Amino acid sequence: MSRIRLSIARTLVPLGVVFGVFAVIAAAARTNVMHQSPDRQRFASEVEPVVLQVDRLFARKWSEAGVTPANPASELNVLRRLSQALHGTVPSLEEIRVFEADAGPRKMERWVERMLDDRRFADYFARRLSRVYVGADDGQFVLFRRDRFWAWLGEQLQKNEPYDQVVRQMIAERGLWTGVPEVNFITSTVSEGNIDVNKLAGRTVRAFLGQRIDCAQCHDHPFANWKQGQFEGLAACYGQVSLSAVGVEDNRNKPYSVEDRMTLKPRDVAPAVPFGADWFPEEGTERQRLAAWVTHPQNRRFERAIVNRVWGLMFGKPWQGPVDDLSDPDERGPQPDDLLDVLGADFREHHCDLKRLIATIAATHAFRLSSEHLDFEVPERAIVVEESWAAFPLTRLRPEQVIGSMLQASSIKTIDQNSHWVRRAFRFFQELNFVKEYGDLGDNELGDHSGTIPQALLRMNGEFAKDRSEGNPFSAPGRIASMAPTDDGCLDLCFLVCLSRYPTAVERAAILPQLEGTTNDNRKSAVEDIFWTLYNSAEFSWGH
């Protein structure tokens, strides 16, 4: 009797588990908030003073350069920019419809906040920042878990934890890389079982202080003030780190020594910082001391670095480039004409609030400018406009932004945390494959890259682009072909989902005839071809 019960139990228990899992997923697919306009505007009025300061700074800059700023961009254009910068994709048709219907006050401010509260922001931004903190290489899987690190960083962003605290955790935490994911900052530099303290030192300064000390590893920096001894002192701050069965630890008895390049003999090096010695506390492990120094309230390089990077993520181009090679802050203190100081000071005053920083930047006049400017027809004037930020810059989107955009454009519904898990898994794996073929840009974030022929071929002839423009009953192209009430409406929808705008009169005149009078398969083909065209336009792959 009991054996029968056991075998029944053996069948039922797994079934029960499966059923339970489905029940949980079903419960999680709650009502979609996408159909309602956002109503929260926590930041809007708070950031007004600093936004005004920034706007005045730009007005002075433009006046000095003798340029007029571009016209304001259309609201849909700004929405697209925000989607790409914060979510790595384009606004869905659903979002566009609700956005167009929203006639309330402070519309952009409310939409920025909604986008920041959306889980997609935390996921995408965590991914972008992760490349900076743990690099783009695979590392040693057993000791380095990028996936855990992403998830942890995403959590910190979602909860909007103070950024200085997040950084201190990355530098100084102890524990196992699976259970305490922030230590992957340390283990990402492991090769052949050893932590590379030099790589860590270089990365700490680049990622958190926005400067490059790497050259000083081997010799005194040729044109900045770094000396080799300073580099060694910083590397020594990681000298106690060891890997053990319980993870990353600080071994207080371990002295740090380097091989002297001249004598080839070992030389002990004490932990030291290259500037701001007052900010380097006496107490704590060496990593804790380093963490305190990096994030010290008076270490202006800290906020300048993150402001520069966030500006870069939003505009596609950092305020000062290269993004991790900033000039030294002015010794006299924060300068009213230095954008990084203005935004940096506000950032510090408000507990290193990243979402607030993003909301501030999104509210500035400069962020809302069009990327069109009369002077862009004239090469000599174009460079003046570009250098003074008198128009929104044209920058190449990252591979995952291009694929994210294609995936969303080919889907009527918004792909977000409310989407069916199958759809999200699909997105994840498609992205991986596409990025692999398209070519990862590595950890050179925000560098200048022009497209390549294989990428163009992939976009034009690749399976992925073919799938994404296919007019089947479940895809946007298919649904638009069969269900849009008029030819004009059909054309509008194609442009809206791909380019977040309506067709111009010239475009309409040229393309509408291809839809007129078509039905069924011919119509499907016509819509597929329009999607193909829009995917392959510069407008689709470039941020503007």
Does the footprint of other proteins cover residue 376 (CB under 8 A)? yes
Does the footprint of other proteins cover residue 378 (CB under 8 A)? yes
Q: How far, in Å, CA of 418 to CA of 286, rounded?
A: 44
Q: Select from 75, 462, 488, 492 the one that contacts other proteins (CB under 8 A).
A: 462
Nearest in space to 304 (alpha carbons), one of 327, 332, 276, 281: 327
CA atoms within 13 A on the CB side of 248: 29
Nearest in space to 167 (alpha carbons), one of 177, 147, 153: 153
Ramachandran region of residue 333, left (φ > 0), alpha (ψ -120 to 50) or beta? Answer: left
Nearest in space to 115 (alpha carbons), one of 320, 416, 343, 424: 416
When the beta carbons of 277 and 506 are compared against other proteins, the nearer one is 506
Stretch that binds other proteins, among 304-312, 335-343, 352-360, 440-448 (CB under 8 A): 440-448
Does the footprint of other proteins cover residue 439 (CB under 8 A)? yes
Q: Select from 63, 68, 191, 327 the one that contacts other proteins (CB under 8 A).
A: 191
Nearest in space to 353 (alpha carbons), one of 130, 166, 115: 166
Spell out, one character per residue from 126 to 165, where the chain touches other proteins: x when CB under 8 A holds, - when not: -----------x----------------------------
Question: Cβ of 148: how many Cβ atoms within 10 Å?
Answer: 18
Q: Select from 17, 29, 457, 483 the one that contacts other proteins (CB under 8 A).
A: 457
Stretch that binds other proteins, among 61-69, 152-160, 280-288, 525-533 (CB under 8 A): 525-533
3-state helix, strand, coil in the chain (%, to 5): 60, 5, 40
Does the footprint of other proteins cover residue 325 (CB under 8 A)? yes
- For the purposes of burial, counting CB atoms within 10 Å of the CB of 35, is it exposed (0-12), middle (13-18) or buried (19 or more)? exposed
Q: Select from 19, 420, 510, 521 the one that contacts other proteins (CB under 8 A).
A: 510
Q: Select from 199, 287, 300, 355 the one that contacts other proteins (CB under 8 A).
A: 199
Does the footprint of other proteins cover residue 322 (CB under 8 A)? yes
Q: How far, in Å, CA of 55 to CA of 334, rounded?
A: 17
Question: How near is the Cβ of 318 to other proteins at its closest, in Å?
Answer: 14
Q: Select from 377, 428, 429, 485 the one that contacts other proteins (CB under 8 A).
A: 377
Stretch 58-97 residues interacting with other proteins (CB under 8 A): none
Does the footprint of other proteins cover residue 483 (CB under 8 A)? no
Ramachandran region of residue 243, left (φ > 0), alpha (ψ -120 to 50) or beta? Answer: beta
When the beta carbons of 165 and 217 are compared against other proteins, the nearer one is 217
- Residue pair 35/97 in contact (Cβ under 8 Å)? The answer is no
Stretch that binds other proteins, among 208-216, 236-244, 248-256, 298-306 (CB under 8 A): 208-216
- Residue pair 397/541 in contact (Cβ under 8 Å)? The answer is yes
Q: Looking at residue 178, what DSSP letter applies?
A: T
Q: 543 forms bridges with which residues in the sheet?
A: 395
Question: How near is the Cβ of 506 to other proteins at its closest, in Å?
Answer: 7
The residues of the shown chain that bind other proteins, judged by CB under 8 A, are 137, 191-192, 199, 202, 212, 214-215, 322, 325, 370-374, 376-379, 382, 386, 394, 396, 437, 439, 442, 444, 447-458, 460-462, 466, 504, 506-507, 510-511, 514, 525, 529-530, 532-534, 536-539, 541-542, 544
